[in-house]
Amino acid sequence: MKNRIGTKSVFYKINGKPPMTPAKAPCLSILGTGSDVGKSIIVTALCRIFKNQGIRVAPFKAQNMSNNSFVTPEGDEMGRAQVVQAEASGIDPHSDMNPVLLKPNSDMGAQIVLQGKVIGSQTARDYYMHTDGLFQKSLESLNRLRDEYDLIIMEGAGSCGEVNLRKKDFVNFKMAHAANAPVILAGDIDKGGIFAQLIGTLAVIPPEDQKRVHGFLINKFRGDSSLFQEGIEYIEKQTQLPVYGMIPYYHDIEIDAEDSVLLDSLIDPIAMPDKNTIHVAVIRLPHISNFTDFLSLQRNSSVTVHYLASPRKLEGYDAVILPGTKNVRYDLQWLVESQWKSILQTYRNQRGQLIGICGGYQMLGKQVNDPYGVEGSPGETRALGFLEQETTLQAEKVLSRTSGIFLPYQSKVEGYEIHMGITRSTGEKQAPLIRIESRNNKIVDDVDGTCSPDGKVWGTYLHGLFDSPYFLENFLSSLAPSYQNHEQISPSASDFKDRQYDLLARHFKQFMNMESLKKIIHI
């Protein structure tokens, strides 16, 4: 985190007396009755509301589990949900906002990122046996944020009422107790059973946790809110705690999703491509990561994006993308066994632009070598063979904020790299894809990516490529020469997201009792 001079960081002696210890910023904890009840969105909305009121606010989640990660300005790795919340707060993301990140690389295990750096992989059983040290590191991160900002909005994980995991759970009540943070319990009425969610969660947690809960938020309501007034009265009577708001479901606000829960609802559409839009297929790999790479494509009215898991013919698609993955070798085997490899070969022979991003880029080569067992047992896996290159996985992860020139279009691009492999060309006819000009704010002279001689197959390690407006316009024009850029270049992804955060804040503020909420935080 950058050193800043401010009221919380520098205290001068007055009248010869030693400086007083500064009070740490207050915290508010948003815990949930389960996964996907909207905790991340609630924190995002609150961060924007307080930011718009002139309060220096920051998000915090002690431990996140997601393969959708990001590189901070310092070159550290953190979960995308807290990046979104930092953007809503108007501040740079920092790994202290998400000190523990779990990146699942199998059904039973995950890579562990601690305060921005990989420290290894563990099974779930081993992980839960060693959470005390992770709690202390998370507390260090939280305290640094409390010294830096005026208010911290904390997010829990999953359900805070998992009684069998309570002793090892440092994300929910243990962290709230440590920060002396009032807890707001959030439930999702759209899932059904909101009374059981809220009242039931309160009933199963121990008395010390119950005392920490100050009230409730009901999320994702559909219909006439006046019809649920009796329901609110029932909850408040049964618990003797207030409902601070009931937030209606929204359809016209786009906030980046935390993980693949939303993505799973979009895969394998029945409709096949038509001729009215540009059609892009993204192969929904088992360990897909950083699918937010394609949100700018999805938001473009001239583009239809299909996420495909079940093998199908690719006729009619203008481009097919292999996305990032947390387990390249496993997903390569899945492509072979599910018949996707032969389908991709047919697509390549018939027409298409075939594109690989990060792990997908590694898949396009001839072989992936894993001498250190980064993704399981050491060994080698034959790749798809569309590019003359091979990849060797390394024990140390590359983390970089990167900018350069996309050579085929001569377009400025920027994004970030997160990968544990080094890819080397094994052929002479392939050209580099991007001239790298800077990494982590340092000027460099390097190249990234590979392009086939006919320009139809290419790959890169650069995430966020499609967020660069000029690159996106050139890319879409290459797929459809008749594509019109609507008289001006589309707004940047950052400008688009900034407008969405304001819409989200306005929506939540309209249906929340913010004055009562501020009283329990004492701000």
User: How confident is the model over 367-408, as pLDDT tens digits?
Assistant: 999 999 888 889 999 999 999 999 999 988 999 999 999 999
Span between the terminal Cα atoms of the chain, in Å = 24
- pLDDT given for residue 395 in this prediction: 85
- Give every CB contact of residue 350 below 8 A, 6+ residues apart in sequence: 315
Which domains occur in the chain, in start order?
27-249+501-521 (3.40.50.300), 260-490 (3.40.50.880)
User: How confident is the model over 197-235, as pLDDT tens digits?
Assistant: 999 999 999 999 999 999 999 999 998 888 899 999 999
Cβ atoms of 215 and 185 within 8 Å: the answer is yes
Which amino acid is residue 121, in one-letter code?
S
Whether residue 301 is predicted with pLDDT greater than 90 in this model: the reply is: no
pLDDT over 90, % of the chain: 71
- Give every CB contact of residue 318 below 8 A, 6+ residues apart in sequence: 278, 279, 280, 352, 353, 479, 480
CA 114 to chain centre: 16
Query: Quick one: three-class SS letters along 442-467?
Result: EEEEEEEEEECCCCCEEEECCECHHH
For 2, other C-beta atoms within 10 Å of its C-beta total 8
Cβ atoms of 354 and 479 within 8 Å: the answer is no
- pLDDT given for residue 9 in this prediction: 36
- pLDDT given for residue 431 in this prediction: 86
Average pLDDT over residues 489-493: 67
- Give every CB contact of residue 222 below 8 A, 6+ residues apart in sequence: 190, 248, 249
H-helix or E-strand spanning residue 121 = strand 117-123
375-379, 430-434, 511-515 — which one is most confidently predicted on average? 511-515
The model's confidence at residue 107, banded by pLDDT at 50, 70 and 90, is low
State the average pLDDT for the chain.
89
Whether residue 365 is predicted with pLDDT greater than 70 in this model: the reply is: yes
Whether residue 253 is predicted with pLDDT greater than 60 in this model: the reply is: yes
The model's confidence at residue 487, banded by pLDDT at 50, 70 and 90, is very low
User: How confident is the model over 1-58, as pLDDT tens digits?
Assistant: 443 333 343 333 333 444 445 689 999 999 999 999 999 999 999 999 999 999 999 9
Question: In sequence order, what are the beta bridge partners of 439?
Answer: 402, 442
CA distances from 371 to 362, 377, 381, 393 (A): 15, 9, 11, 7
Average pLDDT over residues 431-455: 94
For 479, other C-beta atoms within 10 Å of its C-beta total 17
The model's confidence at residue 130, banded by pLDDT at 50, 70 and 90, is confident
Return the closest-CA partner of residue 222 out of 198, 243, 246, 200: 246
Return the closest-CA partner of residue 446 out of 390, 393, 407: 407
Q: What is the DSSP string of 342-357?
A: HHHHHHHHHS-EEEEE
pTM, full prediction: 0.84
Q: Name the E strands within 249-336.
A: 278-283, 288-289, 303-308, 319-322, 324-325
Residues taking part in catalysis? 358, 463
The model's confidence at residue 490, banded by pLDDT at 50, 70 and 90, is low
Q: Is 102 exposed, middle or buried (0-12, 13-18, 19+ CB in 10 A)?
A: buried
Name which of 199-203, 236-240, 275-279 the model is least confident about: 275-279
- pLDDT given for residue 271 in this prediction: 78
Whether residue 165 is predicted with pLDDT greater than 70 in this model: the reply is: yes
Six token digits for residue 165: 């995991």
User: How confident is the model over 141-150, as pLDDT tens digits?
Assistant: 999 999 999 9
Q: Is 224 exposed, middle or buried (0-12, 13-18, 19+ CB in 10 A)?
A: exposed
CA 395/CA 370 separation, integer angstroms: 9
Whether residue 441 is predicted with pLDDT greater than 80 in this model: the reply is: yes
CA 393/CA 250 separation, integer angstroms: 43
Whether residue 123 is predicted with pLDDT greater than 90 in this model: the reply is: no
Within 13 Å, how many C-alpha atoms sit on residue 395's CB side? 6
Name the pairing type of β-strands 27-32 and 183-188: parallel
Which amino acid is residue 484, in one-letter code?
Q
